[in-house]
Structure 1
Amino acid sequence: MSGAVDLSALKQPPAAPGGAAAAPASGNHSVTEADFEAKVIRRSTQVPVVVALFSQRSAGSVELVRTLERFNAEDRGAWDLAVIEAEPNMNIVQALRVQGIPTVIAVAGGQPLADFEGAQPDPQVRQWLDAVIDATAGKLEGDPDAAAAEPEVEDPRFVAAEDKLSEGDFAGAEAAYEAIIAEEPGNEEAKAALRQLRFLTRAQQLDPAVVATADADPANLDAALDAADIEMFEQRPEEAFARLIAVVKRTVGDDRTKARTRLLELFELFDPAEPFVIAARRKLAAALY
């Protein structure tokens, strides 16, 4: 049936006359002229869509819909089911050239692929569905939502390091991250975790009163470095950056190198694209040159 039916007429369907159409009996699988393009044509570029046209007045077609709903649940996303009540959606019936009710049509890549008319025994419906799945396997984009729902497999090495952190074993966690980096020198996740851990270890040992000490004695380099760590630990990065940039401006030699090195370490705790990091880097460059 592929290519024999033009579905373009349904891409911009007219408003349903007289308000909403009668409700099909299929719950979340219901499709009307208003959403046919989204739920069938566009969706069929990702997974095959099985369109079931039925009538409430036909017990056989209602039963066929129930069979398809059951198989759809069993197949867990391998295909979508679009159930359409024929009488209030005659534009779809005409576009698909339906001759009798019920009719079931598989749509893939925006085009009809295969169809059958009339009620069928469950084994034959199952066989037909399997053929549709096989015929489209690997040829469509796939379901992005299903891909996103797949759980990520955690690296046991990171799990072990995080377990040590939760136990308060900072030294053990640091050793675990160092071991990962030794195995994989390019592992940026481990490097970032190690930087965060080393900062946390250092900052937790400081007395917050050092901020007042640094403010009272600007020439005290060690106090300034510790005060910047406290400000960072208290989630005030811009204040920490400003403090160290001021030290870079007024110092030379080894003191300037120490302040600049500490500032660069603090920059690395953040995404380099963060606006406040970019601004601080510019101020550092101006202070140096």
Structure 2
Amino acid sequence: MTLPPNFGRAVDLSSLGKPAPQASATVAGISITPTNLTPDFLEYSSTKPAIVLCWSPRSPESMATLEILGELESESNGAWRLGNVNIDEQPEVASALQTKKVPYAVAFVAGQLVPLFEQPYAKEQIALVINKVLELSAQQGVGAPPAEVIEPEEEEALKALETGDFKSAEAAYKKLLARKPNDAFAKLGLAQTEIFIRTDGLNLETTKAAAQADPLNVLAAMACADIEVMSADVQPAFDRLLHCVRNCSADEKKKAKDHLLALFALVDPSDPRLIKARSDLANALF
């Protein structure tokens, strides 16, 4: 294993300004020096990933980020190792890690340096980054993938779905989103549950016949599009609602557009049919 490029050059972070005060005696993670960087991090990373944060006592944001990382390491049950680099005390190490500003986080995976982020984030966002590191590391045979954590509201929703109680599942997902508005899994779970509710009891043949008989009947088009998406037949569903967006009055157009956006959330973002439908919708609206 080799050290990253530029090891030994001076690091210039003079924009931080004031002389560094004494750092707190308790600092999360292993303090990194030129001596222990290779054995404790580069070599260690062949068995488990290591996360390193470059920080300075002159930067409260970087100190807060280090505290968050310390909490996450404690919660990880030894899945990864945390190191810290006080750039004022270890300019050579900071330079070796190509530090330009703090907080600056990198990972070591199988002896390779992987830049992570260089600005402060909330704990939830940093946890997502670390989970991604653990996933990528496990794919390379280093360490274990992150343990799956199920939120209590999600567990409640899944149990309700198992019994066909869609309304209770919907309420549970909404409760989770009220607590964690950016939870992607909760958003997807809610979208899936809502389409279960909308299609519950619908007859495929009569619903499709109604939509074909009057293509500008938005309610019929929405119901038919739901069934088609449930059957993984997304192209006709998209085309049906796009036709309404292009040709209906303002109120009906909005209903069709909103419903189409809800269906978009249920399709893989990389699906070319979705990519084209998004473009077609933008053209139809503007």
Structure-2-length-normalised TM-score: 0.49
Q: Which has the larger radius of gyration?
A: 1
Structure-1-length-normalised TM-score: 0.48
